Chain A
């Protein structure tokens, strides 16, 4: 058993997938360079208005605002038979025509995304998929009855999955791939053709369906524009010949005498007749499933603020996560690329400077602005991704209106670990990511995370790492009871960042009085009489480094240090009592600093 997924008016469907509100409107997709912009594709409502493929934009716009007064254009879709199974809310001719039409430029990027989504759905259903054309896929359903049930149930489930990625499709199933394809292209909704019924069921289809499929099935894969024109010419000749013979549907062609047809049309005629009878088996040219997950959207007018951008991101994320769900995958890394509108040079100098600074720091390339979310655990919740992207873009605005968006996901296998009931609580990974993003928005980038102590004697040497919720199993013996405590907890240091400049008076080489020099909040606490002191403890390091950095007060940035440390008990002048501090004399500069207090 074979199935074919066919997306009618694929260029329109790709655009409607990104803009679902267009479903209720007549949509015409334009292609070509001005002034040769012509209608490339239409939806049913567009045809009802009288527009046709190949019209110029001006001609189409005349129909776009007018009510139709004549019968709609000829359609390839045949009348529905009672035996056919309808699926979904497809637009039929009985619906009232829309008042006006919407024009959209053809978007190859969105067509690629839609086709990739279609492939994901197909590969999630069966590994045997033939990718014949952007708007149709052939699937081998052999052996899947035990998984999905009979052919009708399989076709319905397939249609449901395609619908979940935002595409309306026709599904045709038959005993051979070509019959399934003709059924999908010719009938709307879900069509299941039982074995042996192919000729009867396909007989009502117009001959154009057969010629379209015939050209596609036998055309070379790398079609050039010349070969396409050649195919089109041959098709027109064949159609003209068959119409002159009075052959307008499958049934008529199937009834013609084989030898007479072969003598007049050659091997092509024999093949066409075989296909019109729904006969002939061939092997599918299988394609490999792609592991690239990306979605894109092109905007008619640029977006300047975060709120409308969030709506677009939401739509892209929904589509992306639906595709990932179809393949039972999650996201480990999410990359957002924004194409920015070029700014006018004299618009705002400061903004351009900010933009340049942002480009330096965030990896923006030319008019492209890239942000990357690296997730500690694989996730697949579009709401969480949207919140993370919103927070990230709020902290790092693009700096110019956005006219195109790409969203790419690096797939990963979802988490499968199940936690025990009696394990200690840990933050949920998804919630934690949002919490950390919000905290970063409050305190700044790289100001929240895990401190990793560096392997050096340099004072206050550490760097910040990303905080990840530890969810491994509890180690035995790790419990701490009231009796399992230390009788003498440790003395801790409280580091001053940066170290505070002080002036120290010495008597017999020992510090006796401290005066604060910095305009710091704790200035008054850091000046007074030294009651007790111990030291000095001489410490130095990194002086052997090839590139000795100049002295910096920030210990995180300092590389070379050479100092004499003292522990002192200081009676503050402000009456705050006695406190213990660590002060040091920087031998390179001859300055005194207080860099920590004991607590």
Chain B
């Protein structure tokens, strides 16, 4: 019984002339990466790969939007045109401006207008309607080209609905961005693009920093903490939120899948903090 190496050498010598490229191992070229806008995440992931699909996942209030805005701020600072496909029309321009996003370079597409006209629609039907819009708009944006970053914000779409998006759609998107320098970023609750994604990061909130007169000391309950601050509650002149009570959040990021290492042997994570922009 010949060894696999000998067998391969035999096949290559027989067919190598005619099929020179099929049997050669293609060396995977590391994609260009850009900063996520968060130093801790950059150290963990190596940045967002260009020409690839990346996912940022996490439950509500886990800092996904903050990381998304940081990435958009970095892209617009590089003078790149960006597009945000907002599935639930949740984007807050004031937060983005406070995060440093150049709004003049950000195309904001607000999906879900039809939902407002018919609020009695079933949850599933509504979400699918939005998703159809998101997929169509993303197709158009990627076909048009020229965007440095295209972000799909599916953060408020139920994971069950997102999972129903056929894998071929994500594959098509990945193929569309592969020959370009566009970063396709999906913000969602659970990973959905599966093998089409080059980078999947899961975020979790560990603590909340807030001004709370009622509980001046650190409070811990249900597995997370409220770190009370004692600064006077005087909002900044350009405050995003008039409440100005929340200082920030402490988060933990974990790489689920990476272009550098498809299957991490063990959980690789890092801690960082989101600070309120007010």
> Which residues of A approach B to under 8 Å, CB–CB?
423-428, 431-432, 434-436, 438-439, 442-444, 447-453, 457, 459-462, 464, 467, 469-470, 474-475, 478-498, 510, 518-522, 525, 531-535, 537, 539, 565-567, 569, 571, 576-580, 582, 596-599
Contact = CB atoms under 8 A, between A and B. Distances in A.
Interface stretch (B16-24, B170-178, B216-224, B257-265): B216-224
A525 B155 CA distance: 13
A535 B214 CA distance: 10
Given A434-B144, A462-B94, A531-B222, A447 B67 contact: no
A448 B64 contact: no
B81 A469 contact: yes
Contact of B97 (A453, A459, A519): A453
Given A447-B113, A537-B242, A489 B274 contact: yes
B156 interface: yes
Contacts of B34: 480
A436 B141 CA distance: 9
Interface in B168-190: 181
B123 interface: yes
B96 interface: yes
A388 to B, nearest CB: 14
A496 B90 contact: yes
A189 B131 CA distance: 62
6 contacts: A425-B181, A426-B146, A479-B78, A490-B275, A532-B215, A565-B241
B272 A488 contact: yes
A249 to B, nearest CB: 65
Question: SS class of chain B's interface: helix, strand, loop or mixed?
Answer: mixed
Chain B interface category by residue count: 35 or more
A492 B146 contact: no
Contacts of A486: 37-39, 70
A439 B109 contact: yes
B12 interface: no
B37 A485 contact: yes
Given A424-B148, A426-B81, A488-B272, A494 B156 contact: yes
A442 B94 contact: no
Contacts of B145: 425, 427-428, 431
A424 B241 contact: no
A518 B123 CA distance: 12
Given A480-B74, A520-B119, A578-B222, A474 B79 contact: yes
A482 B63 contact: no
B79 A478 contact: yes
A435 B79 contact: no
Contact of A565 (B42, B61, B243): B243
Interface in B87-111: 89-100, 103-111
B99 A451 contact: no
Contacts of A582: 241, 243
Interface in B118-161: 119-120, 123, 126-127, 133, 136-137, 140-141, 143-148, 155-156, 158
B210 interface: yes
A42 B93 CA distance: 65
A249 B158 CA distance: 90
Given A492-B95, A521-B123, A532-B208, A565 B242 contact: yes
A104 to B, nearest CB: 42
B140 A443 contact: no
Contacts of A425: 80-81, 145-148, 181
Given A450-B104, A492-B99, A518-B119, 12 more contacts: A425-B146, A426-B81, A444-B114, A450-B103, A451-B103, A469-B81, A485-B38, A493-B95, A532-B219, A539-B242, A565-B242, A567-B243
Contact of A492 (B69, B127, B137): B69
Q: Tell me which of A493, A567, A577 has the highest count of chain B C-beta atoms within 10 A of its own C-beta.
A: A493
Given A490-B275, A497-B89, A596-B92, A443 B133 contact: yes
A431 B110 contact: no
A485 B244 CA distance: 24
A223 B273 CA distance: 84
Nearest to B273: A488
Contact of B222 (A435, A450, A489, A571): A571
B59 interface: yes
Closest 3 CB pairs of A and B: A427-B146, A451-B93, A489-B70
A494 B39 contact: no
A518 to B, nearest CB: 7
Given A489-B67, A491-B277, A535-B243, A481 B35 contact: yes
Nearest to B180: A425
Interface string B20-63: 00000000000001111111101000010000000000011111
Contacts of A521: 123, 126-127, 158
Given A469-B146, A490-B66, A496-B90, A480 B77 contact: yes
Nearest to A521: B123
Q: Pick the most buried of B34, B70, B110: most chain A CB atoms within 10 A of its CB.
A: B110
Contact of A489 (B60, B62, B66): B66
A325 B212 CA distance: 68
Contact of B90 (A475, A495, A569, A578): A495
Contacts of A491: 63, 66, 95, 246, 248-249, 274-277
A475 B61 contact: no
Contacts of A492: 65-66, 68-69, 92, 95-96, 99
B196 interface: no
A453 B274 contact: no
Contacts of B97: 453
Given A478-B78, A599-B61, A453 B155 contact: no
Contacts of B109: 439, 443, 447-448
Contacts of B59: 576-577, 579
